[in-house]
Amino acid sequence: MVYRNHFGSEKTVRKVQWSTEVIFNVLEQHEPQHVLLREARRDALHTFLDGERAQAFLTDLRNQHRPIRLRDVPMVSPLAFGMYATKIREALMVKDPQETLERLYHHWWAKLEEAQSGS
Count: domains in the chain: 1
CB atoms within 10 A of CB 22: 11
Average pLDDT, the chain: 78
Residue span of the structural domain in which 118 resides: 71-119
Q: How many angstroms separate the first and last alpha carbons of the chain?
A: 50
Predicted pLDDT of residue 100:
74
Q: Mean pLDDT lowest for which of 16-20, 79-83, 85-89?
A: 85-89
- The whole-number pLDDT of residue 89 equals 62
Report yes or no on 80 lying in a domain: yes
Kindly state whether residue 95 falls inside one of the protein's structural domains.
Answer: yes
Q: Quote the CA–CA distance of 69 and 57 in Å, as a whole number.
A: 15
Higher-pLDDT residue of 27 and 4 is 27
- Give the DSSP letter of residue 9: E
Please give the pLDDT value at position 97.
Answer: 67
Residue 102 lies in a domain: yes
Residue 63, pLDDT score: 92
Residue 26 lies in a domain: no
Mean pLDDT value of segment 79-99: 68
Does residue 119 form part of some domain?
yes
Would 7 be classed as within a structural domain? Answer: no
Residue 66 lies in a domain: no
For residue range 10-45, what is the model confidence (pLDDT) as tens digits? 777 777 777 778 888 888 899 989 998 888 888 877
Can you tell me the mean pLDDT for 59-69?
A: 88
Look at residue 56 and tell me if it is in a domain.
Answer: no
